[in-house]
Amino acid sequence: MSEVLDLLNEESRQRYLDRACKDGYAVLPDLEALKNRVREKERKAIMDGQREEVSAADAEPNHSAANGAISTSVGTGIERNTSDKTRLLADEDSEDSGRTSGSDTDDDNLAVDDDDDYRSTHSKAVVSMRSKRSMAAESQQMSRQMRFAYWFCFAVVFGAGVSCIVLLILASPTCNTNNSDNGEQLAWWQRNIIYQVYPRSLQDSNNDGIGDLRGISSRVDYLRDLGIRTVWLSPMFESPMVDFGYDISNYTNVDPIFGNLTDFDELIRALHDRGMQLLLDFVPNHTSDKHAWFTESSSSGSNPKRDWYIWQDAASDGGPPNNWQSLFGGSAWQYDNRTQQYYFHQFTKEQPDLNYRNPHVRAAMEDVLRFWLRRGVDGFRVDAIAFLLEDAEFRNETCTLNGSVSVACHEWNTMNHSYTFAQPGFHAIVRSFREVLDSSEFFNATHPKFMVGEMYAPELEDVLELYGNASSPECHFPFNFLLIGLQASDWTGRKIGNVVGQWLNATSKDQWPNWVLGNHDNKRVASRLSASLARTANFLLLTLPGTPTTYYGEEIGMIDGNVTWNETVDPSALNTGDISLSRDPERTPMQWDNSSNSGFTSAGVDTWLPVASTYTEVNVAAQLAQPRSMLQLYKRLAQIRSSEPALQHSSYRLIHATDALLAYAREYTSTTDGSGSTNNQYLVVLNFASTASKAVSLTGSGLAGYQSTGHVQLSASLSTNVSLALNLSAFDMPAGEAYLVKLTPS
């Protein structure tokens, strides 16, 4: 009994659920077996208890022996009920026994009146004095009681088992194996837009020209009003800032440039108070060379932490151990004079790679996750996830030019990364990170912790493997970089339609989609495309199925700043000498208003990167005042997205794709009212061309079940009245325009 009831105990329920999450619901039949085992035990216990009850009742009419037979330790309602009922039963037994005794002989009465004495000296004699009739009656009585007790307990056990199954099923959508569009219920990470904050660049609160945590806290209301509910912070941990925070020297503290842990706690409180979530950037592949682990590791060849990083002897010519290249230019091997070996670094030489073949490394990084989860973070973006392992044999990579290793490959981009990228075994590491998030310490059925991975790979299927599967989940989703990777010329209706279909067709219903338009490593969308097409692109982003990610400033259409070579600080440009590789332009300060330094910091302060010259016009204050600004459009899109089930859920149907136009339907049928008649169906039409499309007709293309007149709820230009009737068999689409049209079933 207690085993089944234990399932209702939080810890056991969690354990069971964890197992269900891990091993899949195939474990559910175990519950049936458990129930049977318990039923058997219960039956035995009842029999024993009944025997005790009978003898005790004979002797002690008002004392319940059943309490001892069915032990209770967990205070659940069911248990309390069972216990009370059993006690009742025992009381009935006692009364029955008493009645039987009372209606029988004087000796029986004597036995009741003088019961201590009776118990101690005469029990056998009294039993032998009972008449055959009363013995038979008693035994009949007993078996009736036993049958009743048996069925009663069976019902309770069965009820408890069913409740457990129901509980497990109810909990299963939040069991993190489930990434699907689960009918009515979507998780927070499915519903919300992710807004990426580059902490150096959002808001400076102390006039040092660098953004900080207090600055971010002061802009939380802005983000909430924008319609943002999930904020992802690029790294704000202690760092020498060679790669601006992606080189971490202490994973469990805030860099003084950004503030301190108290500022962090205030930021997370400010977000949570407003119903918002915080994601941190988890950088597991490499540390800073100033991290204490590396200091130890590089102190001698025999240091216990030596193996925490990847050390190799020089090649026979004294050069690097093999031809592996760094993403940021040059060999991926750095010679260490003191210990006379090379260490490996995928990125800058100040970012030595950790050795995940050493289990202590993984354990230490899992502790990093726990540290921040205990501080209340809601999830992580996992940096450079596919770089975690390298070939154990350190084999040379081949050149993409002719597949040979004899041709010198001097650039990361011209090599096949067969031995340094997505190596066998890396998914197991990702899974172990996920297990920390799903572990009982952090499990919360209504608010699961979330994980998204960063992986740019030539093959989409390699990226999609990061979803894991139901029994071994990895990321809730890997970032979808298909849109961010497109050239301006690719932004045609047809191509975008293909790209959208590429992700959606390659994923199953359980693999929640997502879309990324910008980030700190890529040119801003308004620079990649154009200011006007950036509006159309954001319209697309916020009306596609799945979680959208917006990079700070893109809601106002910020373009890349002009950063001269002298002002350039990005190591990927400095190390290669190639300014075109610089990521500084997309990291310039947020443009809040038209005051000097754009409201990012006080006038006269030297900002870490120059404020883009466009700030006088492209800024938040100006756009709040303009009814048709990009910012107003973004807010409207975010607001309508959050309130319309059709835009929240994942259905998508391609209606029309030409060079200029893309049209798709977003349809949602309520699964709760069962009627299937919920009028929550939209059509999105986007014109990516710089010319208008005249007399567009969509009625012949998949809109058969709808009336030929739709109602425009929102247009990219914000020039169209809400609810403007649109004749779907002949309408004009101005250049760059986009419509969100409400459809009415015919």
Tokens 């457990």 -> residue: 164
SS3 of 627-646: the string is CCCHHHHHHHHHHHHHHCHH
Question: 232 and 381 in contact (C-beta within 8 Å)?
Answer: yes
Distance separating alpha carbons of residues 155 and 295, to the nearest angstrom: 65
Tokens 């030929």 -> residue: 708
Distance separating alpha carbons of residues 261 and 427, to the nearest angstrom: 32
The residue (of 346 and 527) whose beta carbon lies closer to ligand GLC is: 346
Q: Are strands 194-197 and 547-551 parallel, antiparallel or unpaired?
A: parallel
Structure token digits, residue 522: 């890529």
Shortest separation between residue 383's beta carbon and ligand GLC, angstroms: 5
What residues are paired with 538 via a beta bridge? none
Shortest separation between residue 569's beta carbon and ligand GLC, angstroms: 12
CA dihedral (450, 455, 458, 462) in degrees, to 10, reads: -50
How many helices (DSSP H) and strands (DSSP E) are in the chain? 24, 21
Shortest separation between residue 286's beta carbon and ligand GLC, angstroms: 7
The residue (of 457 and 624) whose beta carbon lies closer to ligand GLC is: 457
Shortest separation between residue 399's beta carbon and ligand GLC, angstroms: 23
The residue (of 480 and 543) whose beta carbon lies closer to ligand GLC is: 480
Shortest separation between residue 456's beta carbon and ligand GLC, angstroms: 8
Shortest separation between residue 595's beta carbon and ligand GLC, angstroms: 29
Structure token digits, residue 145: 């009681």
Looking at residue 649, the DSSP 8-state letter turns out to be S
The residue (of 346 and 623) whose beta carbon lies closer to ligand GLC is: 346
Question: 92 and 33 in contact (C-beta within 8 Å)?
Answer: no
Q: What is the largest CA-CA distance in the chain?
A: 114
E strands, 38-127, in order:
none
Shortest separation between residue 181's beta carbon and ligand GLC, angstroms: 29
Question: 350 and 247 in contact (C-beta within 8 Å)?
Answer: yes
Shortest separation between residue 20's beta carbon and ligand GLC, angstroms: 34
Distance separating alpha carbons of residues 610 and 562, to the nearest angstrom: 8
Q: Are strands 194-197 and 731-733 parallel, antiparallel or unpaired?
A: unpaired
The residue (of 454 and 474) whose beta carbon lies closer to ligand GLC is: 454
Tokens 């949602």 -> residue: 668
The residue (of 243 and 667) whose beta carbon lies closer to ligand GLC is: 243
Shortest separation between residue 523's beta carbon and ligand GLC, angstroms: 14
**Residues belonging to the active site:** 281, 383, 454, 520-521
The residue (of 6 and 586) whose beta carbon lies closer to ligand GLC is: 586
Shortest separation between residue 387's beta carbon and ligand GLC, angstroms: 8
Cα of first residue to Cα of last residue in the chain, in angstroms, is 57
How large is the angle between the packed helices 426-438 and 10-23, nearest 10 degrees? 160
The residue (of 181 and 243) whose beta carbon lies closer to ligand GLC is: 243
Shortest separation between residue 417's beta carbon and ligand GLC, angstroms: 14
Which residues bind to ligand GLC, rule: CB under 6 A? 243, 246, 283, 347, 383-384, 454, 520-521
What residues are paired with 279 via a beta bridge? 232, 379
Task: Name the residue with the smallest CB distance to ligand GLC.
Answer: 246
Tokens 């060079």 -> residue: 659
Distance separating alpha carbons of residues 373 and 383, to the nearest angstrom: 17
* Backbone φ/ψ region at 335: left (φ over 0), alpha (ψ -120 to 50), beta: beta
Phi and psi, residue 369, nearest 5°: -60, -45
Helix, coil or strand: residue 100: helix
The residue (of 493 and 589) whose beta carbon lies closer to ligand GLC is: 589
Phi and psi, residue 655, nearest 5°: -105, -40
Structure token digits, residue 672: 């709760």
All residues at 6 or more sequence positions from 581 whose CB lies less than 8 Å from its CB, including other chains: 570, 572, 573
Distance separating alpha carbons of residues 87 and 67, to the nearest angstrom: 7
Question: 380 and 280 in contact (C-beta within 8 Å)?
Answer: yes
Shortest separation between residue 281's beta carbon and ligand GLC, angstroms: 8
Tokens 């009415």 -> residue: 744
Which residues in 503-534 are b (16+ Cβ under 10 Å) and which e? bbeebeeebbbbbbbbbbbbebbbbbbbbbbb
Helix, coil or strand: residue 51: helix
The residue (of 241 and 529) whose beta carbon lies closer to ligand GLC is: 241
Q: Which amino acid is located at 702 in the chain?
A: G
Looking at residue 387, the DSSP 8-state letter turns out to be G
Distance separating alpha carbons of residues 39 and 41, to the nearest angstrom: 5
Shortest separation between residue 294's beta carbon and ligand GLC, angstroms: 15
E strands, 621-737, in order:
653-657, 661-668, 680-687, 693-696, 709-715, 724-727, 731-733
The residue (of 244 and 706) whose beta carbon lies closer to ligand GLC is: 244
Tokens 């301190």 -> residue: 260
